[in-house]
Amino acid sequence: MPSELRRFYKALWVAPLVFALIVTTLYPTIFLIALATTKSTLGKPFRSFVGLKNITGSLTDAAFQLTVVKGVAFAFASAIVEIVVGFALACLFVALMKAGRYLLIVVLLPLMTPPVMVGVAWKLILAPSGGLLNGVLMNMGITDAPISFLATPVPAWLSIGIADLWQWVPFVTILCFAALVSLPEGVHEASLIDGAGPWQRLRHITLPLVAAPLASIFLLKLIIGFKLFDLVYVLTFGGPGLTTTTATFSIWRLALEQFDVGKAAAQTLIYAIVIGIVTIPVVRLHRWASEHYS
């Protein structure tokens, strides 16, 4: 086969992938940059070129800076808590052997629930009037009056965190379970013969062997956490005040309530860059764990 024809066939094989990357990545990025550098609204995009005005304005906007900090902080906090809880549940399911596999089916239920429905369910649970949680607390004599969980800053954040944990811990648990069941049995049997206790096996054998998969799971959950929107929209709508307004929710309001699409695009670019920067240590951690424990 001539070399020119061989190169043509190779190019033909990768053409669908290149086309998909252009459609799903390159074009949206160029379109977003075009919006960010122009005065654009929903009805009239690209009205006039403004250069870096939207970007510099967003960088110096204290309110936007705070929403970015809150979004990043929530993503890391939720990822850390959920990786710990999910790993603990996965260890329990592995210890239960066959029963653990059936329990995974039950655990899947929150994961299969749409995020908006998760928010609606937890809003009903946390409602001050007729809410399940307030009813339980009052019946047990813990509180004398209903508590407005979603109208108080700290409880509002905790409520969003609990709802997010309920939704995504099953996902983390399944991935951790898959990593644990893939470990060689011989290593654990040898440690039992040597007299190693449960905590020693966990610390010196299990955790090092699953360090790389755990780093991958943590990175995946971290990225999901950066996209927090549905729970904020349904539970608090960014309130009380602007307490639970994250970058994603702030950008949505700027684009679809204030119709300033150009500035919203600029803030989207900035937030994407921030996400890329803060995830670099996690990517390096994954690489280090893969090199040392694989």
44, part of any domain: no
20, part of any domain: no
pLDDT of residue 41: 86
pLDDT of residue 93: 82
Provide the residue range defining the domain that includes 189: 61-293
Q: What is the rounded CA–CA span in Å between residue 271 and residue 73? A: 13
18, part of any domain: no
- Partner residues linked to 49 by β-bridges: 38
Question: How far does CA 261 lie from the centroid of its chain?
Answer: 24
pLDDT of residue 95: 77
pLDDT of residue 230: 93
3-class DSSP state of 280: helix
Q: pTM of the full predicted structure?
A: 0.87
pLDDT of residue 186: 66
Instruction: Please state the domain count of the chain.
Output: 1
Q: Output the CA–CA distances (angstroms, integers) from residue 282 to 81, 232, 247, in the order listed.
A: 16, 26, 21
pLDDT of residue 56: 93
For the stretch 57-73, pLDDT in tens is 999 999 999 999 999 99
* C-alpha torsion sign, points 248, 252, 255, 257: negative
pLDDT of residue 195: 61
pLDDT of residue 191: 62
Question: How far does CA 31 lie from the centroid of its chain?
Answer: 25
Q: Mean pLDDT over all residues of the chain?
A: 86
Please list the ranges in the chain whose pLDDT falls under 50.
Answer: none
What CATH number does the domain containing 147 carry?
A: 1.10.3720.10
pLDDT of residue 190: 64
3-class DSSP state of 133: helix
For the stretch 245-289, pLDDT in tens is 999 999 999 999 889 999 999 999 999 999 999 999 988 888 887
15, part of any domain: no
pLDDT of residue 34: 92
47, part of any domain: no
40, part of any domain: no
Question: If you ran DSSP here, which 8-state letter would residue 170 be given?
Answer: H
50, part of any domain: no
For the stretch 189-203, pLDDT in tens is 666 665 666 677 777
For the record, the structure tokens of 172 come out as 């983390």
75, part of any domain: yes
- Write out the DSSP string of 46-107: T-EE-TTHHHHHHHT-HHHHHHHHHHHHHHHHHHHHHHHHHHHHHHHHHHTTHHHHHHHHHH
pLDDT of residue 76: 96
